Structure 1
């Protein structure tokens, strides 16, 4: 069976930064592009950062069982991993790396068992997380509060994952994640 890697974390913990580091160093890994019903932010592009779709399109795909996992992450905002995306990556002879939320990660982990490596990126503290989210300047104060509350909840699931990496220093967290993935892929 094909392998896959999940990187999950509360919003702002650094999972995307760590994922970009790994992808730049390991051509055998491929970013699994998630589907989302939210609008693109900044320079995000359809088919590169996300597969952007309407809520109606997303719900049709749910009914057609096209997702390996999906979640209504925030009210009316759906995110999910299309089965066709994993197939595309495996067909290229690469290992998909999923950058997904905690609930989705637990769901995928149950389906793939030992063929899946799940890594939880933990922020050094909720205060540090709040500072990171505020420094992005991409969210309203209300949105940041929603993300902080969700992060507190998500942290309670960290022990469900194969490896917990505290991102208090990005370079060290990247190296630790890289070592964990290399040893998983050698098995």
Structure 2
């Protein structure tokens, strides 16, 4: 069995904020995704992501080191390595894994026991939230197009939690309850 919980939502849905605040409710470990995107000032290697070059990532694909990966709308690769999965599975704690919708679909095939939580916001709210972040119109349009994948595949998720504007704490509480109520005995 598995205590792996996927947290997923389109850009602007608040999945990073939910995961951050979950620390106040649940002691968890996480699967750290590997990416080719540039490290940001707030990022920490091995905590936020594992950061590698595109060349290294493609080599990892060829060597079958990833159990799932995707090229996202921002032009960067993201993926979960078998090594990271095995490390996380040894943890006695619930495991959180932030992944985009393509990763959810692949993970469900490889690890059917994984539980997935869709952090949902109304589609029209995505543009508003991305604009507040200062994203360019081109980036917003690209992310909106990519976001359709979550809504087109929402039936693939085990749970859907609506992240209402101004109600992050309630969203976090709902996600915490889902995790607590669905841990393997």
TM (norm. structure 1) is 0.90
Q: Is the 8 A contact 2:10 2:100 kept in 1?
A: yes
Q: Which residue of 2 aligns with 1:136?
A: 133
Q: Which residue of 2 aligns with 1:87?
A: 86
Asked if 1:150 corresponds to 2:146, the answer is: yes
Q: Is the 8 A contact 1:9 1:121 kept in 2?
A: yes
Partner SS, residue 175 of structure 1: helix
Q: Which residue of 2 aligns with 1:49?
A: 48
Q: Give 1:35 deviation, angstroms.
A: 0.6
Q: Is the 8 A contact 1:32 1:85 kept in 2?
A: yes
Alpha-carbon deviations, 1:39-92, whole Å to 9, x = none?
A: 012321222211111111001111111112100113641000112112222333
Inter-partner Cα distance in structure 2 for 1:52 and 1:161? 28
Q: Give 1:186 deviation, angstroms.
A: 4.6
Write out aligned runs for 1:1-150 (5 A).
Answer: 1-27=1-27, 29-74=28-73, 76-113=75-112, 115-123=113-121, 125-137=122-134, 139-150=135-146
Alpha-carbon deviations, 1:153-175, whole Å to 9, x = none?
A: 32111111101111112122111
Q: Taking structure 1 as reference, are residues 50 and 97 closer, same or farther at Cα in structure 2, changes over 3 Å only?
A: same
Q: Relative to total residues, which structure has the larger helix share, 1 or 2? A: 1
TM (norm. structure 2) is 0.91
Partner SS, residue 56 of structure 2: helix
Unaligned runs of 5+ in 2: none
Q: Which moved more, 1:86-95 or 1:163-172?
A: 86-95
Q: Taking structure 1 as reference, are residues 87 and 126 closer, same or farther at Cα in structure 2, changes over 3 Å only?
A: same
Unaligned runs of 5+ in 1: none
Tell me the C-alpha RMSD between the 2 structures.
1.6
